[in-house]
Structure 1
Amino acid sequence: MMTRPPLHTRRHVLIGGVLSLAAPQLLQAQTLPEEPQAPVRHNVSSFSSQDWRDHFDDLGKGAILCDTISRALHYWSADESDYRVYPTSVPRSDELTKRGYTKIVRKRVGPDWTPTASQKERFGWTYMPPGPDNPLGTHAMYLDWPAYLIHGTHDTRKIGRQSSDGCIGLFNSAIAELFEITPIGTQVRVI
């Protein structure tokens, strides 16, 4: 007559099996280097605060820093009482990225969009009225560089990526907030 092993023995076998599967991960976790790894600067978790003094002589009407490496927009109010950081989309390539100093010269709620000549040629894009398909989203702030804007996007997959033809894109909720607090004449630096 065959006897069954006691229940506690089966439990021990099951627990031992689970522990043997988990052991490599436990050992690996114990052997990780104690030194922190260099931060990855290509996602939201790479945001770090900036000091406006590293980029501007004074705050003037306010200041915006667009960091294309960490894909973040930093905003400072004129009296330095308000500092905000927003995740952005950035240009697809260095050739499309204009860097330097500029300023906000115009703002528009519900912008329409006319593609540049190269966009028409490359993609066949045509004029787009305001609305949910408009690539400029719900709000746009125009820079004194022709065809360069800070604007919203309805395609939230673009934020945090190299996805624009030169503009800085924000979530629609973020551009609406920034739009309200940013006066015309605010200085902008793109790095």
Structure 2
Amino acid sequence: MTGRSVFTPSRRAFLAGGAALLSTPALAQTYNGPQTTRGEGDLTQGVRRNVSSFRSLDWQPYFDNLSNGAILVDITSRALHYWSADGATYKLYPSSVPLTEDLTRRGRTRVVRKIEGPDWRPTPSMLKRNPDWPPYVPPGPNNPLGTHALYLSWTYYRIHGTHDTRKIGRQSSNGCIGLYNEHISELFALAKVGTQVLLI
């Protein structure tokens, strides 16, 4: 025996520590380890996947009214919220978000066009970063915009589907917000041209 005291946790200390751990906010429990993806995720070696739980939100802190409905995209939680104009319908979808901060745009915009079966042309900056990408992709299973797209008033920015389901919940896009195809199909039916959009 060296004279050092050995700490043996009591049952009470163990339970108190466990309670403290469980009360830790979900954000602190988010796993941000490196993972890889293809396609738009080729901009970096790794992507970060959000495994925290989503929470429903009220529209009032973000919009003055629900005229034409409202879409809120929370880049941090990687979630898209939708409220109908009459407030009767609320939807919450997991989303993909821009890969890096310099590709991220925040602020107010609106839906200006809706396309089912969109085609896709990468922007000049995308082609500069990824010279092996094709200059045009027609609608179909190889199209990175998935089955539906909501075009925003910001040039090149869209809320769209994706055939690569690995991207959802990740930082994996070149600036757009991606949803599962079944979710963008549902949102496409709900949202109107003129629906207000806020990215935070």
Q: Which bracket does the TM-score occupy, shorter chain normalised? A: 0.7 to 0.9
What secondary structure sits across from 1:105 in the alignment?
strand
In structure 1, stretches of 5+ residues that fail to align are 1-27
The aligned counterpart of 1:37 is 24
In structure 2, stretches of 5+ residues that fail to align are 1-12, 31-49
Q: 1:45 to 1:123 in 2, by over 3 A?
A: same
Task: Give the structure with the higher percent helix.
Answer: 1
Question: Conserved in 2, the CA contact under 8 Å of 1:73 and 1:87?
Answer: yes
The aligned counterpart of 2:34 is none
What secondary structure sits across from 1:118 in the alignment?
helix
Q: Distance in 1 between matches of 2:168 and 2:87?
A: 26
Q: Distance in 1 between matches of 2:167 and 2:156?
A: 19
The aligned counterpart of 2:62 is 55
Aligned residues: 166
The aligned counterpart of 2:119 is 112
Question: Conserved in 2, the CA contact under 8 Å of 1:44 and 1:87?
Answer: no
Question: Conserved in 2, the CA contact under 8 Å of 1:159 and 1:169?
Answer: yes
The aligned counterpart of 1:162 is 171
Q: Distance in 2 between matches of 1:31 and 1:161?
A: 34
Question: Conserved in 2, the CA contact under 8 Å of 1:105 and 1:184?
Answer: yes
Q: Detail structure 1 runs of 4+ shifted over 2 Å in the superposition.
A: 28-33, 40-46
Shift of 1:48: 1.1
Give the one of 125, 130, 146 matched to 1:123: 130
Give the one of 147, 164, 172 matched to 1:138: 147
Largest Rg, 1 or 2 = 1
Alignment of 1:1-191 (within 5 A): 30=15, 32-35=17-20, 36-40=23-27, 43=50, 45-124=52-131, 125-126=133-134, 127-191=136-200
Q: Distance in 1 between matches of 2:158 and 2:65?
A: 23
Q: TM-score, normalised by structure 1?
A: 0.82
